[in-house]
Amino acid sequence: MTTYTVQQLADLVAGEVEGDAARHVSGVASVDRAGPDDVTFAVNERYAQRLESTSVGACLVPPGIPLEANGTAYIRVENPELAFGMLLGIFHPEHRPEPGVHPTAIIGRGTRIDEGTCVGPYVTIEGASVIGSGTLIGPHTHIGANVTIGSDCRVGPGCTILHDVELGNRVRIHTGVRLGVDGFGYTAGAEGLMRIPQVGRCIIGDDVEIAANCTVDRGALGDTVIGRGTKIDNLVHIAHNVKIGEDCIIVAQVGVAGSVRIGDGAQLGGQAGIAGHITIGSGARIAAQAGVIGDVPAGAVVSGYPARPHRQSLRASAGTLRLPEFQRRLRELERRLDAETESE
């Protein structure tokens, strides 16, 4: 078990210690479960108050909030949650297999595997691909021809990366992801629907993370592109020719139809549906289960179906909830009117 002093932890996260800087810490825990040997964090005064009667090893707190002198050593940092995430990685480092190519892996002719790469059991890599240094390819993953994977990437077990896909550096692909599959392209012909060949590429930028069981289609003619730093949750579908900007967040079960443009820093809530050939501006936020059928301006917040400005959507929802009351009042007015008519 690795042990650190509070001062060592503070140095790692560029924080300032208030309390016993020599105290030793050997684990991490939530604020409700932390003990005398743990480091935890509190993002505001309400969470810090939970420690009033408990002494924990160390607690990361933001500047300015008052603290109880209960024996806890506090570390002041600008962003306690971010600092805690850094310490999680120190106390629980990610497992990494020894570099090398497993004997059961099949490597195609002309493929280059750089130094420090780990290729797991039963991996298949077709010809003329490049796997960058320090990259990990999980078991039972298939990589097609002419694929480029950058340095320090992690590709989970059972993934499929088809031909002509490009991954930048430090990309993380979780279990069951499919990259570069054919887009859903058909046109009506004399004998029914005719399939349109999908001949574009799929390009994934640096520091992108794509969680389990997502599908990203290749472009029909151009490229499908996911910009640097974007994070995609489980079970998301990105259709052909979509262009996603940098540092976007796309939550589980979102569906993005073809040729959509999503600007930098946009956030798409869970189960949102995005119709094809529209633009979502930079910094826009799409609420969960929203149905977006038109362009969304930069910085806008929309919700509902069809998606509209969030406040407007809330008013519409409130009005819908009051419909039974309106019906009751209308029936009362009708009865009163009928009674007045009969009395005349």
pLDDT digit string (tens) for the chain, length 344 residues:
689 999 999 999 999 999 999 999 999 999 888 999 999 999 988 888 887 777 899 999 999 888 877 889 999 999 999 999 999 999 999 888 899 999 999 999 999 999 999 999 999 999 999 999 999 999 999 999 999 999 999 999 999 999 999 999 999 999 999 999 999 999 999 999 999 999 999 999 999 999 999 999 999 999 999 999 999 999 999 999 999 999 999 999 999 999 999 999 999 999 999 999 999 999 999 999 999 999 999 999 999 999 988 888 888 888 888 888 888 888 888 888 888 777 76
- Taking the CA atoms of 260, 265, 266 and 271 in sequence, report the sign of the dihedral they define: positive
* Closest to 121 in 3D by CA, of 109, 137, 139: 139
Residue 151: which domain range?
100-312
**In angstroms, what CA-CA distances link 182 with 129, 175, 179?**
19, 20, 9
- Do 75 and 145 belong together in one domain? no
For strand 58-61 and strand 73-76, is the pairing parallel, antiparallel, or unpaired? parallel
Could you give the CA distance from residue 261 to residue 289 in angstroms, rounded to a whole number?
Answer: 19
- Do 59 and 172 belong together in one domain? no
Number of independent structural domains in the chain: 3
- Do 308 and 336 belong together in one domain? no
CA angle, corner 163, sides to 166 and 263, nearest 5?
40
* Tokens coding 31: 């604020």
- Do 192 and 141 belong together in one domain? yes
- Do 303 and 319 belong together in one domain? no
Cβ count near 99 (within 10 Å): 15
Q: Which helix (H) or strand (E) holds 322?
A: none
Tokens 């090893």 map to which residue? 57
> Would you report the helix, strand and coil content of the chain in percent, each value rounded to 5?
15, 30, 55
- Do 51 and 150 belong together in one domain? no
* Closest to 147 in 3D by CA, of 168, 117, 177, 175: 168
- Do 76 and 179 belong together in one domain? no
Domain final residue pick, 91, 114, 135: 91
pLDDT of residue 111: 97
* Closest to 138 in 3D by CA, of 212, 195, 68: 212
CATH assignment of the domain containing 199: 2.160.10.10
- Do 167 and 35 belong together in one domain? no
- Do 83 and 226 belong together in one domain? no
For strand 148-149 and strand 130-131, is the pairing parallel, antiparallel, or unpaired? parallel
pLDDT of residue 341: 79
Could you give the CA distance from residue 45 to residue 236 in angstroms, rounded to a whole number?
Answer: 36
Q: Which helix (H) or strand (E) holds 340?
A: helix 323-343
Catalytic residue chosen out of the listed positions 92, 95, 174, 240: 240
pTM exceeds cut of 0.95: no
Domain final residue pick, 91, 116, 142: 91
CA angle, corner 183, sides to 126 and 147, nearest 5?
25
Tokens 């497993």 map to which residue? 102
pLDDT of residue 325: 87
pLDDT of residue 344: 66
Respond yes or no: is residue 240 known to be catalytic. Answer: yes
* Tokens coding 124: 């298949």
Burial 158-187 (b: 16+ CB within 10 A, else e): bbbbbbbbbbbbbbbbbbbbbbbbebebee
- Do 284 and 245 belong together in one domain? yes
Domain final residue pick, 36, 63, 91: 91
- Do 53 and 130 belong together in one domain? no
CATH assignment of the domain containing 20: 3.40.1390.10
pLDDT of residue 54: 78
- Do 172 and 302 belong together in one domain? yes
